[in-house]
Amino acid sequence: QVQLVESGGGSVQAGGSLRLSCVVSVYTSTNLCVGWFRQAPGKERERVATIDTISSTYYADSVKGRFTISQVGAKNLYLQMNSLKLEDTAMYYCAAVHRRGRPTCGSAWVVFPPDYWGQGTQVTVSS
């Protein structure tokens, strides 16, 4: 059983920064990959950033150079969001997927949909 709890969303002006946090609670031994997704009104949910190791991360093209994903231990996941734009307005979700034998988390995220979702935290960017 896995529980994901996000925090840190809010309202900010364009150009500002926010830091999202996710506490990952794992009650059984799993090979788990974690990351951040978002869903804007009227749009499909999209993968924003995921992490395997410090040197192995994925970022959506729209956030490269502005967002940074990090993980402290197995339980704390973060998303530092800088230079926020109006189009970053969305509900942000912490998500996790079982690796299922894939060699990397990156390959797992490509093949499998998330197994677990947090409740989401709203980020609103205004002009």
List phi, psi (to 5°) of 120: 95, 150
Q: Is the distance from CB of 50 to CB of 36 less than 8 angstroms?
A: yes
Q: Is the distance from CB of 111 to CB of 102 less than 8 angstroms?
A: yes
What's the token pair of residue 111? 């093949």
Q: Where are the alpha helices (DSSP H) in the chain?
A: 105-111
In this prediction, residue 114 carries a pLDDT of: 95
Instruction: Say yes or no to pLDDT of 28 above 70.
Output: no
Beta strand 121-126 pairing with 10-13: parallel
Contacting residues for 54 by C-beta, under 8 A, at least 6 apart: none
Q: How far apart are CA 7 and CA 47, in angstroms?
A: 18
pLDDT tens digit sequence for 3-16: 999 999 999 999 99
pLDDT tens digit sequence for 77-124: 999 999 999 999 999 999 999 999 898 898 999 999 999 999 999 999
Q: How far apart are CA 92 and CA 18, in angstroms?
A: 12
Instruction: Say yes or no to pLDDT of 30 above 70.
Output: no
